Chain A
Amino acid sequence: MNMNVRIPQPDRCIACATCVAVCPVAQNCPDFPGPRMMGPARQRFRLMGMGEDEASHYCANCKNCDIACPGDVPVSAFIMRAKAEICKKNFPKLRDWILAHGEVLAHCLRFIPAVFKNFGMTFAPARLLLDAIGIARKASLPNFAPQAFRARLARLAQPNLSRAVVFFPGCFVDTYEPESGLDIVAVLNRAGYKVIVPGTTDDSGAFVCCGLPMVANGFWQDARDNARRNLKTLAAWAAKGMPILTACPSCALMIGKDYAEYFPALIAPGQSSSLVDVCDFLIGCVERGELALPAAPQKVETVFYHAPCHSRALGIGLPGLDLLREIPGIQAEYADSGCCGISGSYGFKKDKYPIAMRVGAPLFEAMRQSGATLCASECGTCRVQMRHGGGKQTVHPVSVLRRYLG
């Protein structure tokens, strides 16, 4: 038996249905039979080569099933593999290719000024065209930044510091929100760390998209190719004993957990491919006395915090919330309202947009009820969804910290 090929067995599932009870999509879309049925239950039929249930496209890959499962069943991984198999037979829609390959697309469009790209995303006839290929007209698509994070970082003069960290920016920060990335660099500099982004601040191989959007849209092989490239880069930096940070919980989960789950053959024995959450790292900096926090200002500001599902799935608690609570003068209010609904590219899809908005409704309501004018969350697309549904300014927790550091 080839031990490198590991087919996940569904029999750890005892059909307790806890995952069905917590699944945000099952709660809001009666056509989705739920994770238990689409994951381990159907897996038994798949292993026997029997029919597939097309409803797997409803799964948003938010991982609430994995979080709730008492038996360590890789529920979402079963569904993602099934989706990939379906997409092998029926090539996914153009829309899904576009949403899965944001990085490639951004690269191709890099010479078109952001103002034109963004005009294309707000201009009504253009939105009708996008709507026609299945991108919801009402969805709030993030704007392209005039210059990508990596381009701006390459020109940034960082102070000369003895310690350094490697930073995995993730596509969202790189393409749409370089300000968040620059806030993180500024705070890490303040804590005494120079920030290295491979291929930007040096000549080594660059990180590519973690591959999560590709898996979620059924492009398994593309995700595997990206995983191989990233693992190679990660191994090189890990060998230098350098901490590798990310600000995106989905990238952290994909690289730290899902690579081993999806592509076990790519992981060398003994290789750890993990990324450290930047908030978690900064709490350590505060504890070690590397980062001094300012004295509390006169006025206490309330910040409304939403925990991305993928942060919760990391199993490290809520370092984003803990970090906010460390900042003097900040009163952090924890939303505790479940999934925001967006799940990366899911909520942009025409047929999924109404589901995503229903899923996020309790969070939007909590935002409206809150007295806070500023909201925070680690995940880029969660922030997009929170601005769209809750109508309030939403930033990364480290951006809140930077404001206070001045």
Chain B
Amino acid sequence: MLVVGSGMAGLIAAITAASRGKSVRLAARGAGHLAVGNGCVDVLGYVDGEIVRGNPVDSISRLSGDHPYRRIGAETVAESLAFFARLCAENGFDLAGGNGENQWIPTALGSFKPTWFYTPAMNRETLSMADRIVITHMPWLKDCHADMVKACLARQRRLMSKDMYIEETAPFRAHRNLTPLAAARFVDTEAGERWLLSQLLQCLQRSSSGRRTAVLLPPILGVTRSAEIRARLSEALDADLIEMASPPPGVGGLRIRRTLLRAAAGVGVTVMENAHVVEARVQGQRCVSLVCDATGGEREVKADSFIIATGGFLNGGLVAAPGGKVCEAIFGHALPAPERTEDWTMPDMLDSQPYAKLGVQTNTRLNPITPEGDALPDNVYFAGRTLAGYDFVNEKSGMGVAIATGYHAGMNC
């Protein structure tokens, strides 16, 4: 079978299908959205603007009937999340959360966002338990604003009584364009780890001591050895190290992508990189092959079944044309959309946006269907953001839908 797309949905679909003994090829155009993410897995943070309490899977029943979670069912969603957690554990990726309720993790702005799985270094509980919070100030690093972080933290009821300090650190090298990714890569080396330890020791010495200290950092605790580095530094400093989720390039997303690629190779998935799928060959109710635009001309890839996880407008899975028209990029199915493009957006930027919910409509097996409900090719399955019916930004559900629908497609194909 052939999977198109190497973001979270495509990788999970490929791994699921290959684990069932299928021979799986994955066609990738670009490295997928996963590589720029912050490494958290949001399952469901809000329903209609209201905060989700308790296990997010239990709130699926409150979503509208055409939401991908409702299509595949809450039970499958729970199963897929357990599969993902197992996959991470088996491949040595340290994952926290996934039980009780959503965790609110700190962002690089000092605000908090709800998420389901995260790295242990993002745990806010350690922040609440600390007496003193040291915010490392790295003015030489992009997207790092300690004053704003402190101001935002001080507004939190559970944190306002804490002693908070901003401690400036010296850069590991002089350059005008240092990102957390560059810092994380440096910290992965022995010299880098020593540098960070000495900087943090100085930070802690300068601020008055507390019984329990939490240190807030951008995500710079290494890319490949993050768990061991964090454990060693925490012990040496006698403090909890907490990473803030930060904008791209995503250190956390890269850590997950490495893990999933390793898992995919382990179950025999072969990856065809730089393959731009442009067309489908369909006979009756079956798709026979997909056509790639490769160097040297068209290349036809045949398979028994196909999973399409090509992303939304941003990654080219959905294409918008003048006149309020939207279509799926490979099969070219016209998708229902408001006729007037003015109706695609809401005046308030923070509202749920109608365009965000545009996409491919499917049956419960994730086969595409026409607006009238008739099945299109029944050996084709859609997963991830290409699907209609959810606004991942507003709901905080992006990676969750990708895992759940990728898993479901991989199980059904």
Are A and B subunits of one complex? yes
Binding site for B on A (CB under 8 A): 14-18, 20-22, 27, 30-31, 33, 37, 66-72, 252-253, 256-257, 272, 274-277, 312-318, 321, 334, 336
- The one of B33, B273, B297 in contact with A312, judged by C-beta atoms closer than 8 angstroms, is B273
A67 touches B273 (CB 8 A): yes
Contact flags B19-48 to A (C-beta < 8 A → 1, else 0): 000000100011111011000000000000
Q: Which residues of A contact B315 (CB under 8 A)?
A: 70-71
Q: Which residues of A contact B31 (CB under 8 A)?
A: 18, 21-22, 67-68, 70
Measured in the bound complex, the distance between the Cα atoms of B186 and A22 in whole Å is: 15
Measured in the bound complex, the distance between the Cα atoms of B29 and A67 in whole Å is: 7
B179 touches A20 (CB 8 A): yes
Q: Which residues of B contact A272 (CB under 8 A)?
A: 297
Measured in the bound complex, the distance between the Cα atoms of B186 and A186 in whole Å is: 49
With most chain B CB atoms within 10 A of its CB, the pick from A14, A276, A317, A336 is A317
B35 touches A18 (CB 8 A): yes
- The one of B36, B296, B311 in contact with A256, judged by C-beta atoms closer than 8 angstroms, is B296
With most chain B CB atoms within 10 A of its CB, the pick from A14, A68, A71, A318 is A68
Contact flags B218-246 to A (C-beta < 8 A → 1, else 0): 00000000000000000000000000000
Q: Which residues of B contact A21 (CB under 8 A)?
A: 31, 35-36, 181, 249-250, 254
- The one of A30, A70, A316, A321 in contact with B295, judged by C-beta atoms closer than 8 angstroms, is A316
Nearest chain A CB to B309 CB, angstrom units: 13
Question: B292 at interface (Cβ–Cβ under 8 A)?
Answer: yes
- The one of B173, B185, B311 in contact with A70, judged by C-beta atoms closer than 8 angstroms, is B311
Question: B272 at interface (Cβ–Cβ under 8 A)?
Answer: yes
Measured in the bound complex, the distance between the Cα atoms of B249 and A33 in whole Å is: 13
Contact flags B163-177 to A (C-beta < 8 A → 1, else 0): 000000000010101
B181 touches A20 (CB 8 A): yes
What are 11 inter-chain pairs, A to B, with CB distance below 8 A? A16-B36, A21-B35, A21-B249, A21-B254, A22-B35, A33-B175, A69-B30, A72-B316, A315-B274, A315-B275, A315-B276
Q: Which residues of B contact A318 (CB under 8 A)?
A: 270, 272
Nearest chain B CB to A263 CB, angstrom units: 16
A33 touches B296 (CB 8 A): no
Q: Quick one: closest A residue to B275, CB to CB? A: A315
The A-contacting residues of B in range 278-332, CB under 8 angstroms, are 292-297, 299, 311, 314-316
- The one of B177, B275, B299 in contact with A37, judged by C-beta atoms closer than 8 angstroms, is B177
Given contacts A315-B272, A315-B276, A316-B295, 7 further A-B contacts (CB under 8 A): A17-B249, A18-B35, A21-B181, A68-B35, A70-B316, A72-B316, A312-B273
Question: B197 at interface (Cβ–Cβ under 8 A)?
Answer: no
B299 touches A17 (CB 8 A): no
A315 touches B36 (CB 8 A): no
Nearest chain B CB to A113 CB, angstrom units: 38
Q: Chain B, interface size: which category?
A: 35 or more
Nearest chain A CB to B275 CB, angstrom units: 5
B265 touches A71 (CB 8 A): no
Question: B335 at interface (Cβ–Cβ under 8 A)?
Answer: no
Measured in the bound complex, the distance between the Cα atoms of B189 and A27 in whole Å is: 12
Q: Which residues of B contact A67 (CB under 8 A)?
A: 30-31, 273-274
Measured in the bound complex, the distance between the Cα atoms of B282 and A77 in whole Å is: 36
Q: Quick one: closest B residue to A28, CB to CB? A: B185
B181 touches A275 (CB 8 A): no
A314 touches B177 (CB 8 A): no
- The one of A17, A253, A317 in contact with B36, judged by C-beta atoms closer than 8 angstroms, is A17
Q: Which residues of B contact A22 (CB under 8 A)?
A: 31, 35
Measured in the bound complex, the distance between the Cα atoms of B268 and A336 in whole Å is: 12
B296 touches A316 (CB 8 A): yes
Q: Quick one: closest B residue to A14, CB to CB? A: B314
Q: Quick one: closest B residue to A31, CB to CB? A: B175
Question: B248 at interface (Cβ–Cβ under 8 A)?
Answer: yes
Measured in the bound complex, the distance between the Cα atoms of B314 and A318 in whole Å is: 28
Question: B74 at interface (Cβ–Cβ under 8 A)?
Answer: no
A27 touches B185 (CB 8 A): yes
Measured in the bound complex, the distance between the Cα atoms of B381 and A82 in whole Å is: 43
B275 touches A71 (CB 8 A): no
A313 touches B274 (CB 8 A): yes
B272 touches A317 (CB 8 A): yes
Nearest chain A CB to B388 CB, angstrom units: 21
With most chain A CB atoms within 10 A of its CB, the pick from B30, B36, B181, B186 is B30
B30 touches A18 (CB 8 A): yes
Q: Quick one: closest A residue to B26, CB to CB? A: A317
Question: B411 at interface (Cβ–Cβ under 8 A)?
Answer: no
Measured in the bound complex, the distance between the Cα atoms of B247 and A18 in whole Å is: 12
B35 touches A314 (CB 8 A): no
Nearest chain A CB to B335 CB, angstrom units: 21
Q: Which residues of B contact A275 (CB under 8 A)?
A: 296
B273 touches A313 (CB 8 A): yes
Measured in the bound complex, the distance between the Cα atoms of B296 and A277 in whole Å is: 9
Q: Quick one: closest A residue to B36, CB to CB? A: A16
Measured in the bound complex, the distance between the Cα atoms of B295 and A71 in whole Å is: 17
- The one of A14, A70, A314 in contact with B296, judged by C-beta atoms closer than 8 angstroms, is A314
A252 touches B296 (CB 8 A): yes
Q: Quick one: closest A residue to B31, CB to CB? A: A68
Q: Which residues of A contact B275 (CB under 8 A)?
A: 315-317
Please list the 8 inter-chain residue pairs (A to B) with the smallest Cβ-Cβ separation, ordered nearest first: A70-B30, A17-B249, A274-B296, A315-B294, A256-B295, A317-B272, A315-B274, A68-B31
